[in-house]
Structure 1
Amino acid sequence: MADHTPRTKGFSFGHVLGARVVIQPSTLLMLVILAFLLSNSGGSVTRSGFTIGLILAAALIFSVFLHEVAHAVAARAFGRNVHEIVLTLWGGHTSFDSRNLTPVVNGVVSLAGPAANVVIAGVVAVALQFTQPTGVVGAGLWWIVWANLLLAAFNALPGIPMDGGRALEALVWGVTKDRHRGTIAAAWAGRVIAVGVLVASIGLPFLRGNTPDMFDVLWGFIIFGVLWPAASAALKGSKAMARIDSIGARTIMVSAAPIAFDATVQDASELAARTGAQEIVVLAGDNTPAGHFPVSLIDAVPVSERQHTQLQSVTMPLPRGAQMSPDLRGQEFVQFLRQWWGQTEVWAVVEHGRVIGVVRANDALKAVQ
């Protein structure tokens, strides 16, 4: 089956575990910014200092890449196809097949990233104990250890968009059996963390008896500006998904009754009166839905003409196959409609081989908005 997953724009660098590796241009900007910050000592930047800063910044971004690869490895361990590993201005993300996701898969895949950073820090720290390098090399390697521990700690924070937020989502989801409850809890936790970071960037210097400098305040606002919108988007998305999961063919269909293709408008009128149907579905010779006729349109046909007017002449056609099970709901229901969108405005609802209703496109749109 072809992969229709949208491709992220950026520079492609081959594939890992079947996933396309993408580096967005903003990552290169972050590389330069980090190199400048790491090489800025005493307000001045030297060529050798910037070179060291560039190496350390590249090592940090590579650690982020390994963090994302760990997500991919965990996803593959659960038999999931991984689509992309993307490095961005603020880190990265890994996209994989999330259909029929479970709390266990969600939680394990999320925590694999921070776990990878802890492993990297541990491996480098053990190597340092045996080799004990000195000077710039030793300092740089110890910096990699602490940088990975910081990455792990920050990503483990229990709030969306951090990995710990997805783990919290999985935990609440597993306990309550309601994914949306988990997402809402983790999104609100993400908002709390965003505010906490901003308050800490301003308040901690005061607690130390100092005045916050512009650098601390700027980073506080930048991190807040990343975390708050992401958590808010997850909150909004969860509410939308909850609405989608609550709808289905049975919940939004209107009642319908089937009738043979050679029936008259009078026959349809009598059938609607007997059954209380709002729609009449005309069946083809092989008993498959071939058209529909809203009962409200019967009044448009003069009473004197109904017995002589073939229903086929006023029926709105249905494409062959435009029918669904009444048990279709949630994402599967939306996906079914998406496949047919633009081809028909109405779908017949068929249960045990008999038409019981129709789903109208307008009603489906109103339900998900």
Structure 2
Amino acid sequence: MPVAFDGMSQRERRSPRRGAALLGRRGVRLGHVLGFPLYLSPSWLLLAFAVTFVYGESLRADRPDLPAAGGYALGLAFVGSLVLSVLLHELGHALAGRRLGIGVRAITLELLGGYTEMEGDAPRPRVEALVSLAGPAASLLLTLAAGAAAAAVPRDTLAGQFLVQVAVSNAIITVFNALPGLPLDGGRALHALIWAGTGDPHRGREVAGRAGQVLAGGCVVGGWALYQVSALSLIGIVFTVIVAGSIWFGATGAVRLGRAGRRLHLVDVDRLARPLYRVPSGTALAEAERRAAADGAPGAALVVVGPDDRVRAVVHEAAADAVPPERRDWVAVDDVARGLDPARTLPAGTRGSDVLKAVQADPVGEYLVTAGEDVVGILRVADLARVLEPGAPKPGKSG
């Protein structure tokens, strides 16, 4: 029995360009449902094939008189019911988000379930809890509806068996997603609860992420125990490990995000920016480094200046480090430098979450720190990452 789980997402993603191909980053665009863009990941084809085959073979084993085509047709119908179940689950999130003032970018259906891509974080714990629990509530209503329909028809008929399977699958979706650990819906509700109690959304996210890691481990241990007593097939244990891995990665990301959020007060461009050490165009890399060391600025950012002393390019740290020692006297700073990119600038005085938003589109390399038209420093994203990692040494201006 496939278990679809929800990964309601608030990740920032760039929208597909107008005129882009139908198959985009999210998958195949199916259109709009209640005003929400809907995408189907190609991974659903793998699930459709597996479920159709397993369901059809299982049904034919119980009913030898059933033609193969009939069994596989019912298997495909069951896949369709799963797609509809996950879609209604995600619509629960999307409708609640729209009602409570959170924009929705898209709904995507994937191999293990789906996710609703929100435009931003919930502004209050109550909103976070309501939006996250709206999905399981929709699945619960679908469980009750399928159960009521199953009770109205004989259990020994194909229709009765099919409706029971639909009811059971939605019950599993409901219970599983309500478990208290990120990235599941119950984990978002736990996050909201801790946020409401402590006033700290970052602590809530970290604790709920830890709970998700425990749940992932429990899935593996529980699945292995069931496999040992032949209560779970080999395919079942493989699927369980895949689900557990997805939960683990989502939970680990939540823990890191929570830790980083609790250290946002340390993010200050003026403090993190490295000072500039200007070297003329054509200077050998080794000579530029010797001059910086002699002038007491070994941690400064090397920048290439022209005859007018204006900054032309920034020496890329990784490229410079990759030059062998015996070649550093022969490689000019220009050869390991990047030209100035107006899009990769930060005004002096930028702090906290504004810094993270600014570097989110391209979270590698360096950003120019500017005061008016003047470049006054260089922010290396590696320095920013060290600040956001708990226990990491704080980068200083001297490196």
Q: TM (normalized to structure 2)? A: 0.64
Find the aligned partners of 1:126 and 1:107 in 2 and give their Cα distance. Answer: 28
The equivalent of 1:368 in structure 2 is 385
Q: Does 1:109 align with 2:126?
A: no
Instruction: Note if contact 1:243-1:367 (Cα within 8 Å) is conserved in structure 2.
Output: no
**Residues 306-349 of structure 1: CA distance to partner in whole angstroms, max 9, x if unpaired?**
xxxxxxx7677999xx88584x4222233356799999823339
Q: 3-state DSSP class of the match of 1:362? A: strand
Q: 3-state DSSP class of the match of 2:15? A: coil
RMSD of equivalent CA atoms:
3.8
1:99/1:111 CA distance change after superposition, 3 Å: closer
Find the aligned partners of 2:234 and 2:13 in 1 and give their Cα distance. Answer: 45
Instruction: Note if contact 1:160-1:187 (Cα within 8 Å) is conserved in structure 2.
Output: yes
The equivalent of 1:282 in structure 2 is none
Give 1:239 shift: 3.2
Give 1:70 shift: 0.9
Where do residues 90-239 of structure 1 align in structure 2 (5 Å cutoff)? 90-99=112-121, 101-129=123-151, 131-132=152-153, 135-204=157-226, 213-239=233-259
Find the aligned partners of 2:110 and 2:127 in 1 and give their Cα distance. Answer: 24
Find the aligned partners of 1:58 and 1:338 in 2 and give their Cα distance. Answer: 37
Give 1:46 shift: 2.1
Q: Does 1:6 align with 2:29?
A: no
Find the aligned partners of 1:343 and 1:202 in 2 and give their Cα distance. Answer: 46
The equivalent of 1:291 in structure 2 is none
**Greater relative contact order (Cα < 8 A, sep 6+):** 2
1:337/1:228 CA distance change after superposition, 3 Å: closer
Where do residues 255-334 of structure 1 align in structure 2 (5 Å cutoff)? 324=347, 326=349, 328-334=350-356
1:99/1:329 CA distance change after superposition, 3 Å: farther
Q: 3-state DSSP class of the match of 2:379? A: helix
Q: 3-state DSSP class of the match of 1:80? A: coil
Find the aligned partners of 2:42 and 2:233 in 1 and give their Cα distance. Answer: 30
Instruction: Note if contact 1:68-1:113 (Cα within 8 Å) is conserved in structure 2.
Output: yes
Instruction: Note if contact 1:249-1:333 (Cα within 8 Å) is conserved in structure 2.
Output: yes
**Residues 170-190 of structure 1: CA distance to partner in whole angstroms, max 9, x if unpaired?**
211222222221122112111
Instruction: Note if contact 2:346-2:367 (Cα within 8 Å) is conserved in structure 1.
Output: no
Name the aligned partner's letter for residue 230 of structure 1.
G
Q: Does 1:345 align with 2:368?
A: yes
Where do residues 24-63 of structure 1 align in structure 2 (5 Å cutoff)? 24-41=41-58, 42=61, 46-63=68-85
Q: 3-state DSSP class of the match of 1:40? A: helix
Q: Does 1:19 align with 2:36?
A: yes
**Residues 194-232 of structure 1: CA distance to partner in whole angstroms, max 9, x if unpaired?**
1111111222455xx658652343233222232222222
**Residues 151-181 of structure 1: CA distance to partner in whole angstroms, max 9, x if unpaired?**
1001111112211111112211222222221
Task: Report the structure, 1 or 2, having the larger helix content.
Answer: 1
1:99/1:222 CA distance change after superposition, 3 Å: closer
Larger Rg belongs to: 1
Instruction: Note if contact 2:366-2:381 (Cα within 8 Å) is conserved in structure 1.
Output: no
Q: 2:267 aligns with which of 247, 251, 258?
A: 247
Instruction: Note if contact 1:35-1:54 (Cα within 8 Å) is conserved in structure 2.
Output: yes
The equivalent of 1:292 in structure 2 is none
Instruction: Note if contact 1:249-1:359 (Cα within 8 Å) is conserved in structure 2.
Output: no
Note the residue ranges of structure 2 that are not aligned, 5 or more in a row: 1-11, 17-24, 277-291, 296-307, 313-339, 387-399
Find the aligned partners of 2:199 and 2:34 in 1 and give their Cα distance. Answer: 31
Percent identity reads 31
**Residues 238-269 of structure 1: CA distance to partner in whole angstroms, max 9, x if unpaired?**
33444445313465479xxxxxxxxxxxxxxx
Give 1:63 shift: 0.3
Give 1:17 shift: 3.8
1:239/1:128 CA distance change after superposition, 3 Å: same
Instruction: Note if contact 1:202-1:216 (Cα within 8 Å) is conserved in structure 2.
Output: no
Q: 3-state DSSP class of the match of 1:6? A: coil
Q: TM (normalized to structure 1)? A: 0.69
Q: Which moved more, 1:161-170 or 1:41-50?
A: 41-50
Name the aligned partner's letter for residue 47 of structure 1.
A
Instruction: Note if contact 1:17-1:72 (Cα within 8 Å) is conserved in structure 2.
Output: no
Find the aligned partners of 1:173 and 1:47 in 2 and give their Cα distance. Answer: 53
Give 1:5 shift: 3.1
Q: 3-state DSSP class of the match of 1:230? A: helix
Instruction: Note if contact 2:202-2:257 (Cα within 8 Å) is conserved in structure 1.
Output: no
Note the residue ranges of structure 1 that are not aligned, 5 or more in a row: 255-277, 280-296, 301-312, 350-357
Name the aligned partner's letter for residue 118 of structure 2.
F
The equivalent of 2:332 in structure 1 is none
Instruction: Note if contact 1:24-1:87 (Cα within 8 Å) is conserved in structure 2.
Output: yes
